Amino acid sequence: EAQVTQNPRYLITVTGKKLTVTCSQNMNHEYMSWYRQDPGLGLRQIYYSMNVEVTDKGDVPEGYKVSRKEKRNFPLILESPSPNQTSLYFCASSSGRTDSSGANVLTFGAGSRLTVL
Amino acid sequence: AQSVSQHNHHVILSEAASLELGCNYSYGGTVNLFWYVQYPGQHLQLLLKYFSGDPLVKGIKGFEAEFIKSKFSFNLRKPSVQWSDTAEYFCAVNPLGGGYNKLIFGAGTRLAVHP
C-alpha cells in the first residue's frame, strides 16, 4: 500500500532533549515536506526536499533540522525542543512534478503529536 | 507574500443543509488549487483539485468547487451535508513557475454537522 509513515505518533518530551521524528515513503517520490499544524494557523511548511541531498527552508524553519540521505526517508530533527514547538506535525510526499497531470498531489502521513514540557 | 484566506473558521450546520466554504488566495500567476479534508483524528486527504480546464471541479463525497480567476477564489460547496462530513477543511494553493510544488494552506474551517 502506498503510504507515508511517521514515527512516533505521540511523544511527550522535555525542553532541550533532542528528538527525531522519522518519515518514510514507499512511492519513490522525489519531493518530501514537513508541516506543523496549529489551531487557527492551518498547516505551515517547516522544510522541504526536492530530492536526495537537496533540502530548503519553508516558512517556519527555526528550531528544526532535516536531512535527506535516502530518497525514501526525511527525518525531522529538533536539536533543543522548546514548548513553542508543541504541535501536530505532518510529513508529506509527492512525485514533485508541477505539470497539469496531477502529479504534484501531496500524500500525507498520519501525523505526530509532539508535546514539549 | 502569497497567502490563502478561509473566511469561516467554524461552521455549524444541520444535516441536509447546503454548504459553501470560502477560499481566496493572493497570487497573480498560474496556480493549482486544492481542498483537503481532515476527519477527526486522521491525516489530511485530498477532496478535490483544480489544475486547468473546467473551473467547476467535482471531488469525492459529493463535494465540488468553483475556480473564479477574476476573484482569486476557489469556494467549496456541497448541496446537502451529512453528519459524516464533520471535519476540518483546508484550502491550499500551489503557485506554479517556481520549479517546486510548494503548497500554501489556509487556516482551515472546522465544520460540525448536527443530526
Cell of B105: 494552506
| Site of grid cell 498520519 | A110
Cell numbers found for residue A59 = 516558512
Which ranges of chain B have pLDDT less than 70?
A: 1, 97-101
Task: Decide: helix, strand or coil at residue A83.
Answer: helix
| Residue A57 near residue A40 (C-beta atoms within 8 A) | no
Flag if A104 and B94 touch (Cβ within 8 Å): yes
Interface probe for A, chosen from B38, B44, B93 (most Cβ of A below 10 Å), is B44
CA B6, B8, B10, B14 torsion: positive or negative? Answer: negative
Digit-coded pLDDT (tens) for A48-83: 998 999 999 988 999 999 999 999 999 999 999 999
Provide the shortest C-alpha distance from residue B78 to chain A (in Å).
Answer: 22
Nearest by CB to A42, which of B49, B52, B90?
A: B90
Residue A39, C-beta contacts closer than 8 angstroms, at least 6 positions apart:
none
**Res B101: pLDDT:** 60
Using an 8 Å CB-CB cutoff, list chain B residues near A92: 44
Region of B41 on the Ramachandran plot (φ > 0 left; ψ -120 to 50 alpha; else beta): left
Cell of B101: 510544488
- The reported pLDDT for the residue numbered B42 is 86
Chain B residues whose CB is inside 8 A of the A44 CB are: 105
- The per-residue pLDDT for range A22-31, each reduced to its tens digit, is 999 999 999 9
- A contacts of B103 (beta carbons < 8 Å): 33, 45, 106
All three cell numbers of A39, joined, read 489551531
Closest CA in chain B for residue A90: B43
Residue among B44, B100, B107 whose CB faces A50 most closely = B100
Q: Which long-range contacts (CB under 8 A, 24 or more apart) does A45-53 make?
A: A45/B102, A45/B103, A45/B104, A46/A76, A46/A89, A47/A76, A48/B100, A48/B102, A49/A74, A50/A96, A50/B100, A51/A96
Question: What is Dmax (Cα atoms) for chain B?
Answer: 46
Q: Which pLDDT band holds residue A104 (cuts at 50, 70, 90)?
A: low
B32 with A110: Cβ contact below 8 A: no
Cross-chain Cβ contact A94/B32 below 8 Å: no
Is the pLDDT at A88 greater than 90? The verdict is: yes
Q: Is the pLDDT of residue A97 over 70?
A: no
